[in-house]
Amino acid sequence: MEKKVRVRFAPSPTGGLHLGGVRTVLFNYLFAKQHGGDFIVRIEDTDQTRFVEGAEAYIFETLAWCGLTPDESPLHGGPFAPYRQSERKPMYKQYADQLIQEGKAYYAFDTAEELDAKRKEINNFQYSQATRGMMKNSLTLDPQAVEQLLADGTPYVIRIKLPENEEVKFTDMIRGEVVFNTSQVDDKVLLKADGMPTYHLAVVVDDYKMEITHAFRGEEWLPSAPVHVLLWSYLFGIDNMPKWAHLPLILKPDGNGKLSKRDGDRLGFPTFAMDWSDPKSGETTIGFRERGFLPEAFVNMLAALGWNDGTGQELFTLEELIEKFSIGRVHKGGAKFDYEKAKWYNQEWIKKMHVASYQHLVAGFFKANGIEVEINEKFTQILEMVKERCVLLSDFVAQASFFLTQPETIDIAAISPKWDEKKQMFFVELIRAYELSTLWEASDLEKEFKELAAAHQLKPGELMLPFRIMLVGGKFGPGVFEIAAILGKEETVSRIKSVLGML
Ligand code: GLU
């Protein structure tokens, strides 16, 4: 029987989630769901020096925002709990001990000072086959000395003993066969002095214990793969190793290197999923969510960073992605990030979706701008009217706030040069006509407006711009009679009057 597909996202809670991290989640998730499998989130927090308060909660909030719900996690529970490595600490040591007994790992007693001294002495020092012979470890010390050091409680780490000049291979689902020579890999620490495993040991033990069948992770983890392959073959059998896919990097817009948070800050676009406030520095990094991205657009845009379905289709719902995604169509090469394209996705999704599904988000942007809104039919109607003009959800504020509050500024300069007595008369009469009007549909208002213009021997075209500016404050917005229809009689008339008073 085929094993049930089980994938995992294994973040270290060290800060905000970069868009590359969310893409890793997405590809894991799509693969799992396509195969009727499970998507697991495991928190890799064994490096307590890098632990950041709030980072784990941030990760789960991001996943919830994107609609990528884990089947198992510290938050969602599951049969393989606990899902936080720090809570699994007692599970790992036995494997490090086993490797020592089998001669595949060794104790290293070098102090931090001794290691520092070596780093100063040797350029690019690595604890490896070439250098381990000159260090203080159970390979260089005699067995009795080692026993004594252990009995005295001397701090030690356990390091993997990389075999000499061996080829380590595995088949990557994106890259095909990947080969490493063990002489190029250092003797990574497996168990630290505080008894915590390092990432390398913990990731292998947990992928085994949690019955992970496939694992997609960023390309930056490729150099660690030979250590993991060796650990798999030493501890659990290479046939049980999950199938790996190392996802291509997300590159800077110019293609020169990996996209970093700093690039986003420098070029003025988000690189994090949501706003992240660093608890230590207090610095806030802007996120896609707060910039006004719809989660549907964000997810769609991420899927396109390195993948396409080969048909030219660009807009995909999550359901369609689950159906169409294939790891075989993920490119090996890095994917350039293009913020303009990201915005294009958002604009398309704003147009494609009914505003009812995102108006609560838009209401949040109004609120942030000091405009309280009630979500009702009128609000929906207003948003529907202006959505074609919005690229980000935050754009609704500029495009539609004049419906909800009086315009803050009126572009009088756009009217006054061509203003004259005749136009003044027209608008005075328009006020009267509209006040008497019993019908208030856009078409009625337009008809009355045009008839009155004809009576005044004025071209409606010359009057529409002043009318628009009276209602919205500037040269923008949807059809002016539609605007008046929504504003209602009282507000329309009052806005005309107030601008007439300024001219
Ligand atoms: N804990 C690693 C990280 O922070 C996980 C890498 C992996 O997926 O193996 O990304």
Is-contact 496 484, C-beta < 8 A? no
Is-contact 271 261, C-beta < 8 A? yes
Is 44 near ligand 1, meaning CB less than 6 Å away? Answer: yes
CA 203 to ligand 1: nearest atom: 9
Q: Is the pLDDT of residue 18 over 80?
A: yes
Is 321 near ligand 1, meaning CB less than 6 Å away? Answer: no
Pocket test for ligand 1, best of 26, 85, 220, 221 (most atoms within 8 A of CB): 221
Calpha distance 501→497 (Å, rounded): 6
Per-residue confidence band for 182, with pLDDT thresholds at 50, 70 and 90: very high
Longest dimension (CA), the chain: 112
CA 10 to ligand 1: nearest atom: 5
As given in the structure block, the two tokens for residue 73 are 């996690």
Pocket test for ligand 1, best of 199, 220, 243 (most atoms within 8 A of CB): 199
CA distances from 386 to 25, 410, 478, 496 (A): 34, 20, 6, 22
Q: Is the pLDDT of residue 1 over 80?
A: no
Tell me: the pLDDT tens digits for 232-268? 999 999 999 999 999 999 999 999 999 999 999 999 9
284-285 and 276-277: which strand pairing? antiparallel
Q: Is the pLDDT of residue 176 over 80?
A: yes
Is 219 near ligand 1, meaning CB less than 6 Å away? Answer: no
Mean pLDDT of the region 295-320:
97
Residue nearest ligand 1's atom 5 by CA:
10
Return the SS3 of 105: strand
Q: Which residues pair with 335 in a beta bridge?
A: 250
Instruction: Specify the pLDDT at position 2.
Output: 79
Instruction: Specify the pLDDT at position 489.
Output: 97
Mean pLDDT of the region 309-327:
97
Instruction: Specify the pLDDT at position 91.
Output: 96
Is 217 near ligand 1, meaning CB less than 6 Å away? Answer: yes
Tell me: the pLDDT tens digits for 410-466? 999 999 999 999 999 999 999 999 999 999 999 999 999 999 999 999 999 999 999
Is 45 near ligand 1, meaning CB less than 6 Å away? Answer: no
Calpha distance 487→430 (Å, rounded): 16
Calpha distance 58→399 (Å, rounded): 31
CA 216 to ligand 1: nearest atom: 8
CA 222 – ligand 1 centroid, Å: 11
Instruction: Specify the pLDDT at position 443.
Output: 97
Is 199 near ligand 1, meaning CB less than 6 Å away? Answer: yes
Is 214 near ligand 1, meaning CB less than 6 Å away? Answer: no
Pocket test for ligand 1, best of 46, 198, 203, 229 (most atoms within 8 A of CB): 203
Mean pLDDT of the region 492-499:
97
Tell me: the pLDDT tens digits for 273-304? 999 999 999 999 999 999 999 999 999 999 99
CA 11 – ligand 1 centroid, Å: 5
Note the residue count of the chain. Answer: 503
Q: Which of 93, 261, 336, 489 is catalytic?
A: 261
Instruction: Specify the pLDDT at position 403.
Output: 96
Provide the mean pLDDT of the chain: 96
Tell me: the pLDDT tens digits for 340-392? 999 999 999 999 999 999 999 999 999 999 999 999 999 999 999 999 999 99
Is 234 near ligand 1, meaning CB less than 6 Å away? Answer: no
Q: What percent of the chain has pLDDT over 70?
A: 100
Domain covering 261-353 assigned CATH 1.10.1160.10 in the classification: yes
Tell me: the pLDDT tens digits for 197-234? 999 999 999 999 999 999 999 999 999 999 999 999 99
CA 44 to ligand 1: nearest atom: 1
CA 502 – ligand 1 centroid, Å: 63
Is 10 near ligand 1, meaning CB less than 6 Å away? Answer: yes
CA 258 – ligand 1 centroid, Å: 17
Mean pLDDT of the region 307-336:
96
Q: What percent of the chain has pLDDT over 90?
A: 98
CA 8 to ligand 1: nearest atom: 8
CA 364 – ligand 1 centroid, Å: 34
Catalytic residue check, 261: yes
CA 246 – ligand 1 centroid, Å: 11
Could you name the CATH architecture of 88-202?
Alpha-Beta Complex (3.90)
Is 221 near ligand 1, meaning CB less than 6 Å away? Answer: yes
Q: Which of 353, 373, 355, 350 is nearest to 363 (CA)?
A: 373
Q: Is the pLDDT of residue 148 over 80?
A: yes
Could you name the CATH architecture of 406-503?
Orthogonal Bundle (1.10)
CA 24 to ligand 1: nearest atom: 8
CA 82 – ligand 1 centroid, Å: 17
pTM assigned to the model: 0.93
Q: Is the pLDDT of residue 48 over 90?
A: no
CA 98 – ligand 1 centroid, Å: 24
CA 363 – ligand 1 centroid, Å: 37
Mean pLDDT of the region 67-71:
98
As given in the structure block, the two tokens for residue 366 are 């109004």
DSSP string, 392-432: STTHHHHHHHHHHS--S---GGGTGGG--HHHHHHHHHHHH
Mean pLDDT of the region 175-188:
96
CA 215 to ligand 1: nearest atom: 8
